[in-house]
Amino acid sequence: MTEARGDIQTLIDLMARLPGLGPRSARRAVLHLIKKRGPLMAPLAAAMADVASNARECLTCGNVGTTDLCAICASPKRATGEICVVEDVADLWAMERAGVFRGRYHVLGGTLSALDAVGPEDLRIPRLLDRLKDEAVIEVILALGATVEGQTTAHYIADRIEGRGVAVTSLAQGVPVGGELDYLDDGTITAALKARKAF
Amino acid sequence: MTEARGDIQTLIDLMARLPGLGPRSARRAVLHLIKKRGPLMAPLAAAMADVASNARECLTCGNVGTTDLCAICASPKRATGEICVVEDVADLWAMERAGVFRGRYHVLGGTLSALDAVGPEDLRIPRLLDRLKDEAVIEVILALGATVEGQTTAHYIADRIEGRGVAVTSLAQGVPVGGELDYLDDGTITAALKARKAF
């Protein structure tokens, strides 16, 4: 760009590095922010500075929060003896939105991958095994993606837990609620048929 | 959301108010920012706070910048006697990216609209007429959208300038560079044919 900007161009360049925003949508977002600099831009800048200085990963489960122990790990209500293992924080948030799981989480931070040289120690798996003793866990629910990497990781974790007297389960696979058969892939239909149950 | 967040949820809610971001992409952006809180989130928060407190509209042309007179209006190199009239700052930026216009701009801030009760005094049109005298303008280039509102506004401005000894021109209409006829609408083809020139 030419002499037209400066600070504003810096802001656009930084915004364009967010996932889902390119240069064009970053410009649009910045113009919108400038128009609403009182009601939106100033509070957004303050909230962002706040989170930038306070956000951290929970030392126990890897969830993000503003304290060393996240709100879920700190809540005695959630000490149900169940740990739900997820790949990342977005998955944890998705589970929380469903609002049906009342135990605690363990965020791996990815999946095992020989290609990317991601091993168990990169994924908080040792910390998970420690928690099994420390928190009197009775069930580990593997809520990992139905991908090759997700399932490889699930099998590895199940193997490591075996023989410790802790139940290991995984989310059911099948037809999504509201889903139409016509739009489903063969793998999902196969899994749903195999896991069919009495009506 | 449940007890999982707080400050982070506030940030997500504010981000979701940006154009082009919904709740889902706002969550994704915030998780990305938290992962890169050192290299990206802190500088972004600072840049945003900077612009929020310094951004203002140029008193002459309506461009956004961090000074009362924008960089283009302040530059003596751009005193060519040409003023390019655009609807909004995004259009000014698009012209500047092309890098071919070396004069100054006038940002209307919208188009005339009886429906939305937008009149000439809402659009910096009086300020444009003042500039014609103050800046020894020889040509006004109307770079307004090829929409009904854009063209209505262009006609209104041309009428107001008539008789002041200032040339009024508008951007050519025709086939976009790299465009294929098959994908063009009838109106563009008609305009391009009418304005055909010797090869």
Residues of A in contact with B20 (CB under 8 A): 20-21, 25, 28-29
SS3 assignment, position A168: strand
From CA B5, how far away is CA A64, in angstroms rounded?
A: 8
Q: Where does the pLDDT of residue A1 fall: very low under 50, low under 70, confident under 90, or very high at 90 and above?
A: very low
Contacts of B84 (CB under 8 A, 6+ apart): B92, B95, B101, B103, B104, B105, B106, B141, B143
Residues of A in contact with B96 (CB under 8 A): 1-2, 4
Contacts of B52 (CB under 8 A, 6+ apart): A33, A37, A41, A42, A45
Q: What is the pLDDT of residues A175-192, one digit of tens each?
A: 888 888 888 888 888 888
Residue B140's closest CA among B109, B119, B111, B161? B161
pLDDT at A15: 95
Mean pLDDT over residues B180-194, rounded?
Answer: 85
Strand partners, A44: none
Contacts of A104 (CB under 8 A, 6+ apart): A61, A72, A73, A78, A79, A80, A82, A83, A84, A135
- Percentage of chain B surpassing pLDDT 70? 97
Any A CB within 8 A of B121 CB: no
- Of A57-61, A114-118, B28-32, B47-51, the one with minimum mean pLDDT is A114-118
Q: Where does the pLDDT of residue A157 fall: very low under 50, low under 70, confident under 90, or very high at 90 and above?
A: very high
Residues of B in contact with A2 (CB under 8 A): 96, 99
State yes or no: pLDDT of B69 exceeds 70: yes
Question: Average pLDDT over chain B, rounded to whole?
Answer: 91
Q: What is the pLDDT of residues B126-158, one digit of tens each?
A: 999 999 989 999 999 999 988 899 999 999 999
- Asked if B37 and A55 come within 8 Å (Cβ–Cβ), the reply is yes
CB A99 within 8 A of CB B7: no
Domains defined for chain A, CATH in brackets: 7-54 (1.10.8), 64-170 (3.40.1360.10)
DSSP symbol at A68: S
Report the Cα A110 to chain-centroid distance in Å.
9
SS3 assignment, position A169: strand
Mean pLDDT over residues B29-45, rounded?
Answer: 94
